[in-house]
Structure 1
Amino acid sequence: MNEASNYSLRDEIKEYWSMRAATFDEQPGHEIFSETERAAWHALFERHIGKGNGRRALDLASGTAVISHLMHDLEFAVTGLDWSETMLEKARAKSKQRGSNIQFLLGDAENTLEPDNSYDVIVTRHLVWTLVDPAAAFVEWFRVLKPGGKLLVVDGDFVSSTWASKLNKAMADVMQSLGLRKAAEVAPQMKTHRDILARVHFSGGARSDEVSAMLRQTGFDPITVDFDLKQIHSAQKKHISFAKGLERGAQHRYAICAQKPIS
């Protein structure tokens, strides 16, 4: 893919997420809808990166600051970075309302412009699967981390079909054939999403083994892959339909903790 087409795709992605900002916090899986889910996220973070104790944390593609505030709860000194000013406006308003001291920066997660060795922790949620050039992004994140610092990637394969997605489609087809349900129209927003997805690096799905291999090639070591996200998903299922809950539970979702060696 040449530089011009990369730039065009990045612009499209930025515009898409800016468009999504207005309703982003309305969806389970984006905003936190219960204290049970909040506690589950805290437990995941503490399991891999511990308490903050004032350590510096960078939340990449921070959006409306959901993850930033979870990190702030754990007493990290948090900086949220996002390239959508629309998202950042909502994030700053939320931070002001909650009285948090999170710093927000406008910037590209694949080229942060942050100083070398400046953060103890970097956290990303559902960012890696959208990256245009993940190999370059991982090199950038390695550079920004302090020696001994940790990267926590929470992501998944949201593309590949699962038994649950196939079952839901089959049920929908049956209901449609019986006249019990109209054919679903694909919204323009979803068409844009699919068009962008077809051109990012992980267009076939961001599998944990491939992501881990790329992180290891970058120089991260050790690397731990954690598939135990059931407490988070269980809390989210209470706020979505049964069919969507099945699909979410069947997807390949994970957290990867990768450390920058001390020397």
Structure 2
Amino acid sequence: MTNPAAAIAAYWDAAAPDFDDEPDHGLKAADTRAAWADRLSAWLPSAPADVLDVGCGTGSLSELIAEAGHRVTGVDLAPRMVGQARAKLTAAGLQGRFLVGDAAAPPTGQEKFDVLLSRHLVWTLPDPHAALNEWTGRIRPGGLLVLVEGRWCEAGQSGVPYVAGAGALPWHRGIAAEDLAEAVRPLVSDLRIEPLSADAVLWGGPVTDERYALIARI
């Protein structure tokens, strides 16, 4: 891809106005919102924590994280996504910090976090292995890496084909749980996989592809 970062940012900027129309993006249905809140409660520490939400999109998970009492920082390459995330938390009366930048190398300097969360992001990354190395280095010892991922056909979220050259992205069709675990295992002390495909409420309806959460301790 020519200037992939610019192409990817433009794609997701164009997708931003309709992004929350997807049930698992906007979390507008009470049962879907509650299902994600329950999962995050199970994955994240019970005490207030510093959470980095990479590829935060419009901030729906960031909002739930802040609502649970955590200190959230969201990063996304698309300025319009970040603008919607900021507006979403402000409207809810919640605190959150949102930065425009490459989620693969978050612009947070030397800051460390208790949790790094990513949902459905790695398929968009030109070098996911480098991103995983970067992410684990941003987490405090004893902290958590939480990756919500899956294996699916190449697709974006705006109803139009993804950026030119997307077929060359290493994980452009997503990644199976076993393969992601293999990539992450050398970087962490332990990990587990939590299957999510059967929980239709999370997605606003039944899904037939592989979806899961990988939870790893640093």
TM-score by length of 2: 0.90
Aligned to 2:191: 223
The one-character-per-residue Cα deviations of 1:112-134 (angstroms, maximum 9, x if unpaired) are: 13244610001111111211111
Amino acid at match of 1:84: A
Aligned to 1:203: 172
Aligned to 2:83: 89
Separation of aligned partners in 2, 1:134 and 1:85: 22
- Is 1:252 matched with 2:210? yes
Aligned to 2:125: 131
1:120–1:88 distance in 2 versus 1, CA, 3 Å? same
Separation of aligned partners in 1, 2:115 and 2:55: 14
Q: Percent identity?
A: 28
- Listed as ranges, the gaps of 5+ residues in structure 1 are 161-187, 239-244
Separation of aligned partners in 1, 2:202 and 2:59: 19
Aligned to 1:148: 142
Q: Is the 8 A contact 1:10 1:132 kept in 2?
A: no
1:83–1:228 distance in 2 versus 1, CA, 3 Å? closer
Amino acid at match of 1:254: Y
**Which protein has the larger Cα radius of gyration, Structure 1 or Structure 2?**
1
Amino acid at match of 2:57: G
What is the CA distance between 1:9 and its match in structure 2?
2.0
Q: Is the 8 A contact 1:12 1:196 kept in 2?
A: no
**Counterpart of 1:90 in 2: which secondary structure?**
helix
- Is 1:50 matched with 2:45? yes
Separation of aligned partners in 1, 2:111 and 2:92: 30
1:229–1:60 distance in 2 versus 1, CA, 3 Å? same
Size of the aligned set, in residue pairs, is: 215
**Counterpart of 2:23 in 1: which secondary structure?**
coil
Q: Which consecutive segments of 4 or more residues in structure 1 shift more than 4 A?
A: none
Q: 1:98 aligns with which of 89, 92, 109?
A: 92
TM-score by length of 1: 0.75
Q: 2:114 aligns with which of 105, 117, 120?
A: 120
Amino acid at match of 2:184: L
- Is 1:29 matched with 2:24? yes
What is the CA distance between 1:212 and its match in structure 2?
1.1
Q: Is the 8 A contact 1:33 1:236 kept in 2?
A: no
- Listed as ranges, the gaps of 5+ residues in structure 2 are none
What is the CA distance between 1:107 and its match in structure 2?
1.3
> Superposition pairs for residues 71-86 of structure 1, below 5 Å?
71-86=65-80
Higher strand share: 2
